[in-house]
Amino acid sequence: MGLTIGVDIGGTKIAAGVVDEEGTILDTHKVPTPPTAEGIVDAICAAVSEAGKGHDIEAVGIGAAGYVDDKRATVLFAPNIQWRHEPLKDKVEQRVGLPVVVENDANAAAWGEYKFGAGKGHEDVICITLGTGLGGGIIIGNKLRRGRFGVAAEFGHIRVVPDGLLCGCGSQGCWEQYASGRALVRYAKQRAHATPENATILLGLGDGTPAGIEGKHISEAARQGCPVAVDSFRELARWAGAGLADLASLFDPSAFIVGGGVSDEGELVLGPIRKSFRRWLIGGQWRPHAQVLAAQLGGEAGLVGAADLARQG
């Protein structure tokens, strides 16, 4: 089989990419993300048409944040777009004249990493994405597992602290409140506020105030050895690793793949996560341990994964 298009819907850009069977992106077209729900559908169609020009495209895969139904056709709910029971597959198929598959974006990214990235050779892989929030995907027996109704693998919303932090989902204590880019920034702000003398490097990279701390400052400061930045990564890793240990108790995969912006820091964050994972893994001396691997595809995992899922129909 030939080429497919994967679509990634970002907060500022919608990207459509032509992808071959080896997961190579041959061509990409990006358009700005419109503000309205219907405008985004238009933009997806436009980006697909444009990217596909001059290619023989067989199908389109769209990665969308939120709940996608069991038929991979309807977005039941999207957190950032006013899509509620949105028949995205039908709309786009009618307009672009190609078979369309809609998939949760974190599922798509997990599939991309499993097929073409860090997961190659594994049959059972759990992928977590530490971005602004925490998402992920489940591959068991070489298949993406979407749940009966399409909404499995919502890792970010398991409850890790009873009566814990409020989450955008309306619940409390969700894992993504403790292990995500947003959590990392909160850790750094709190620590810089309480002990500014240990945060001079970190504060110096921003506007000098705890409130002005951004994620990129924390990474840079940690590389320079800033105690507050290092400790913030360690706190993130504490929660990430403990959660992976829970996922090991549940899924027992051969590998975890850690992706998302936070994981771009590589061993700075993966080392502590592995340590915390081992600390909390149940029965660690009696069982083979899953590997904890860094994602390899970066921000393209979702697009590539969506394209490949479309290929499989």
Helix 181-194, helix 215-223: angle, nearest 10 = 70
67 burial (CB, 10 Å; 0-12 / 13-18 / 19+) is buried
Q: Which of 138, 150, 140 is nearest to 104 (CA)?
A: 150
Contact residue for a copy of itself among 98, 99, 165, 200 (CB under 8 A): 165
Cα 249 from Cα 264, distance rounded (Å): 26
Q: Which is nearer to a copy of itself, 76 or 98 (CB)?
A: 76
- Cβ 13 to a copy of itself shortest distance, Å: 26
Contact residue for a copy of itself among 54, 121, 225, 283 (CB under 8 A): 283
- Cβ 292 to a copy of itself shortest distance, Å: 14
For a copy of itself, which stretch binds (CB under 8 A), given 7-15, 33-41, 137-145, 218-226? Answer: 137-145
What 23-26 contacts at long range (C-beta under 8 Å, 24+ apart), as own/partner pairs, is 23/112, 23/115, 23/116, 23/304, 23/307, 23/308, 25/300, 25/303, 25/304, 26/55
Q: Which of 196, 195, 272, 205 is nearest to 233 (CA)?
A: 272
Contact residue for a copy of itself among 55, 193, 298, 299 (CB under 8 A): 193
Q: Which is nearer to a copy of itself, 57 or 178 (CB)?
A: 178
H or E element in which residue 308 lies: helix 301-312
Task: Decide if residue 37 touches a copy of itself (CB under 8 A).
Answer: no
Among residue numbers 57 through 116, which ones bind a copy of itself (CB under 8 A)? Answer: 67, 76-77, 84
Task: Decide if residue 121 touches a copy of itself (CB under 8 A).
Answer: no
Where along the sequence are the contacts to a copy of itself (CB under 8 A)?
Answer: 67, 76-77, 84, 122-124, 138, 140-141, 143, 145-155, 157-166, 169-172, 174, 178, 190-191, 193-195, 242, 245-247, 249-254, 275, 278-284, 286-288, 290
